[in-house]
Amino acid sequence: MGGEDKRFGTDDPRFAVQRKQDKKKVIDSRFAELFQEEADECVDKYGRKTEKKNRVREQLERFYELPEEEKTQKKEKRKPRGRSEARRETEREAEEEARREAEREARIEAEREAEEEARREAEEEARREEERETKRGETKRLAVTDLDWDRIAARDLFQLFGSFSEGGLRTVKVFYSEYGKEMMKKEVVEDSTTETNEDMNETMREYKLGRMRYKYAVAECDSVDAARKIFSVCDETEYEATGNMLRLQYVPSGVVFEAPIQVCDSADTEYVPKSFVTTALHSTTVKEDWDSEDEERRTVLQGRFDGEFSDEDVERYIAPLTESEDEAEEMTKKYLVLLQE
């Protein structure tokens, strides 16, 4: 044979004995947790550690190994801890939890105190603001002037203001002004209806505008805030579509008024807004209404014949008996008694 058959050679690397360090494959550090002591610990049914080794770990160690640096870390982590160290660790965790709980309670208490302080400051600021507003002239009472008092009454204003005061409106009262008293006395002596001239329309307008100053109303609220709400919404606004502008002003606390001619202290659930136009304010031609009928009176006396008249309606629209009428009624009763005998 010219040469040895390579098939029978003894230096074939396929048959070389594998070195011990080459038997294990180095794995990635991502699998290092599989070799940790915590993952390998075996416990009995009571949770106590046993000397029995983890077979899965043994199999892994037979075929795989970690890089050198991972081995070092693994050995350090596998170093057993004594009971005293475990106890100290538990105590440290308990102390840390207690500290966090104390901080949480302190934070909650601080937030509660901050909210309470903010509430007290807000109340104090509201009180100071009300005092400042009172000093600036804002009070619980509002005066209403320059309206068509022949058609607008206290209950009309109560219905209007009550819708903006959020329940803070107490009463609305109508009074005669000093100017109105003087002019009404003058009208008794002078008959203004006999005036005839070329500018009768303007004369009528001046008269109508003057009558708007015969009376005024005072709305009383339970707080300055309620009066402020009414003032902010209603001042310098038109009443319905009548042409009458609501002109409001605060009434000083020390002002005292005489007996009112109209009083309203409650809302009417059956109230119907009036429909009218003050021609002296709205039109170039002023309508004469010397003999015009009171629409509200006509509605009450003609539209409610169901026997449900209120005392206010009777006092407002039915005139009381005179002395002569009282005497005649008394005589009639006496004659009836005599006839029955």
pLDDT digits (tens, 9 = 90+) for 42-97: 667 777 776 656 676 777 777 777 776 555 555 555 555 555 677 778 888 888 88
- Opening angle at CA 176, ends 296 and 221, nearest 5: 80
Distance CA 191, CA 236 (A): 34
User: DSSP 3-state assignment of 246?
Assistant: strand
Assigned token pair, 289 = 């209404």
Determine the average pLDDT of the residues in 99-114: 88
Assigned token pair, 206 = 């001046």
pLDDT digits (tens, 9 = 90+) for 244-296: 889 999 998 888 999 999 999 998 888 888 878 777 777 677 666 655 555 56
Q: Quickly tell me which residue has 């993952």 as its tokens.
A: 39
User: DSSP 3-state assignment of 245?
Assistant: strand
Helices (H), 55-153: 55-63, 68-78, 83-135
Looking at every residue in the chain, the average pLDDT score rounds to: 76
Would you list the domain boundaries of the chain? 23-78, 82-136, 141-292, 303-328
Position 195, amino acid: E
Determine the average pLDDT of the residues in 162-166: 88
**pLDDT computed for residue 208 by the predictor:** 83
**pLDDT computed for residue 211 by the predictor:** 87
The β-bridge partners of 145 are: 247
DSSP class per residue in 89-112: HHHHHHHHHHHHHHHHHHHHHHHH
Q: What are phi and psi of 43, to 5 degrees?
A: -130, 155
**pLDDT computed for residue 202 by the predictor:** 80
* Dihedral sign for Cα atoms in the order 49, 54, 58, 64: negative
HSE (side-chain half, CA atoms, 13 Å) at 46 = 3
pLDDT digits (tens, 9 = 90+) for 181-210: 998 888 877 755 545 555 777 888 888 888
Q: What are phi and psi of 122, to 5 degrees?
A: -65, -45
Distance CA 267, CA 159 (A): 6
- The pTM is what? 0.49
Topology adopted by domain 141-292: Alpha-Beta Plaits (3.30.70)
